Structure 1
């Protein structure tokens, strides 16, 4: 990810008012056993629509069965409630939803056995009545790589089953107009499971510098996917899209993120509605003009405004709670109907970055 301009402010009173830590140093305790300490929700507002319950650094700089647990770029909820966490180093971890402790790891690779720059994840689960017996995980994995870009379907044990078509313009130059490492970062299935949507992180050559494309596919017989509509989405200045997740009503939660050395990260959460947007698949250059209806978006929260909850940062940040947030999933609803949203940061296996999980409640 290229460096981006940060526009973020922090209210000092919020940081000073917090006294509890969700996951502090684990003296003489394995990092994966550090408890998740709940907080009272009063005063935990990030905005009028988003609050943060807690965070956890339980997996920061840990290993599982000799494999580094980090570089996490995507999250998904499995049928049994456990979490799937995708590393951009070709590893898929199965995590206990309560403790975050890894239970298994599957290595993913391309058709030649090479590692992926794996960024987006969907667990394509069958109807509950079709679950296999004996507790064997069912369904398949849809995984993006941002260097081609590509979307591959895998079995649960990591075998390639299929590869989805990609529009020529979204391929990395010189084959297309995209830039390597700035392509398919986000991936989600819309309600009903018939439509798959991938978000480009950054614009392609020829489009306006503030417009990215969201590509969709429609499910066909045999659980294959064919290319479908494409939409334009306007990003904030200096930011890109690392993740997107469909809400139960067909709208989207969209993360926008940026980074500036010496300043830190900007992370904003938007609610976006693609249902009345123009299909831009036949438009060569997106300029934001010419009657094109872009995806409508509404700011839910700038996460720099969240209370820090006692978090610490290993490098400058506008709020010590922030890091390189890259993964997101909706884990359910609370009793008031708010979405329970889980975020994770990608530490890039860097000593000054942190693998951190964030537990949000979102009124959409």
Structure 2
């Protein structure tokens, strides 16, 4: 059964700031503060600054951590520490570095020590646990040209050294054909696995999620049907897996031309905001899409997601043919509707990271980051939104 999504949105323009108000019951307002698009081929300490696939804010330092999804190809797998001055962000699509300062880059180390070998890892999600002074990160794994590799969730120290691994259930591991569509294949699809991480408010649970479903659960999203992704919880103290919930990813937002190129939609990151409640990102991409005012081909939507009444499917290798109550979703913001000061629509990149930021004008903020895939035509982009008020979003 498909999820009923609230799509009745009213767009209000206050000066040059666009506010999108979600329908009841939450009444949350998301206001566009501004953005910064880094110039192409930005470099720091000999590394290519790109592929930024996560973002997490440390209120103690006022700085952010961002992992690069470089598969140790251009440079060693790594993460950056940076600061963002939101007062210098602009409502313009012109590139610039104003307000963005990169302070450090840290190499992610293998369990045995030393950097990962070329094409042996795919870092995607990252969260900093200030209470434990640990960093959690997800490796998407592989199913393709470089063989089959298990998706992993790991813990490391701030210096990048390995601390421990979380126990990912075996049915996530790729088995069968490398292309994943041959009968009998199971586990993750290539490039559609652990993109995201979130830490519960009580700091006891670490969540990850697949971008699309497992092969044995559902096909990948296309222009006509969505995909049944899994949210997986871990007990942080023990590292053991816990509950799992089905999150129904929408179909691709814009259909490609007939016999056209690859198109996708996926759950790329999320934030925990209450008891099994989240703000999620769904990022859709159609290379040949004609999206008015936005030539990037990306559609990005933010959802409120509530898993409290969802079926716990933990331990089930496959949910095919089963009656499952999925996570309930409410559309909060279609980012293709955001406008710049001059009235132009916001150019959207490949948004793959989200975090709460510092207060801005007395209101809570959401900060998002786009992965440029190390391509000249794509964006390394930071976008800032105001939340007003967050308390209306969290249901008791």
The alignment of Structure 1 onto Structure 2 pairs a total of residues equal to: 306
- How far apart, CA to CA, are the structure 1 residues paired with 2:300 and 2:338? 11
Matches for 1:279-358 after TM superposition, within 5 Å? 279-287=312-320, 290=323, 292-309=324-341, 319-333=345-359, 339-358=364-383
Q: Do 2:110 and 2:161's aligned partners in 1 also have CA atoms closer than 8 Å?
A: no
**Cα separation, 1, equivalents of 2:40 and 2:175:** 35
Q: Is the 8 A contact 2:17 2:341 kept in 1?
A: no
Determine the structure 2 residue equivalent to 1:233: 247
Structure of greater relative contact order (alpha carbons < 8 Å, 6+ residues apart)? 1
Runs of 4+ in 1 over 4 A off after TM superposition: 40-43, 309-312, 332-336
Q: What TM-score, normalized to structure 1?
A: 0.77
TM-aligned CA distance change 1:287 to 1:297, over 3 Å: farther
2:122 pairs with one of 107, 110, 117: 117
Q: 1:71 to 1:289 in 2, by over 3 A?
A: same
Structure 2: runs of 5+ lacking an equivalent: 1-10, 23-28, 71-76, 86-98, 142-149, 177-184, 220-226, 253-264, 290-296
Change in 2 beyond 3 A, CA 1:64/1:43:
closer
Contact 2:352 2:370 in 1 (8 A): yes
1:270: which partner in 2?
A: 303
Q: State the Cα distance separating 1:164 from its structure 2 match.
A: 0.9
**C-alpha deviation, 1:46, in angstroms:** 4.0
CA, structure 1 residues 343+288, in 2 after alignment: closer, same or farther (shift >3 Å)? farther
Secondary structure of the 1:169 match is helix
Q: 1:156 to 1:310 in 2, by over 3 A?
A: farther
Q: 1:59 to 1:342 in 2, by over 3 A?
A: farther
Change (3 A) 1:311 1:170: farther
Q: Is the 8 A contact 1:41 1:53 kept in 2?
A: no
Indicate the larger mover: 241-250 or 89-98: 241-250
CA distance in 2, matches of 1:353, 1:283: 38
Q: Say which of 271, 278, 287 aligns to 1:261.
A: 287
Q: C-alpha offsets along residues 102-149 of structure 1, whole Å, 9 cap, x if unaligned?
A: 11110113336425311000101117xxxxxxxxxxx11111010121
Q: Choose from 180, 186, 192 the match for 2:190.
A: 180
Which of 126, 131, 134 is equivalent to 2:131?
126
Could you tell me how far 1:51 is from its partner in structure 2? 1.9
Where 2:54 maps in the other structure, the secondary structure is strand
**1:135-166 CA-partner distances (Å, limit 9, x unpaired):** xxxx1111101012101111111110101111
Provide the alpha-carbon RMSD of the alignment: 2.5
**What is the TM-score with the length of structure 2 in the denominator?**
0.71
Matching residue of 1:88 = 69
CA contact (8 A) 1:182 1:201 kept: yes
The residue aligned with 2:138 is: 144
What is the rounded CA distance, in whole Å, between the counterparts of 1:41 and 1:273 in structure 2? Answer: 33
Please say if 1:195 is aligned against 2:244.
no
Distance across 2 between alignment mates of 1:331 and 1:102: 16
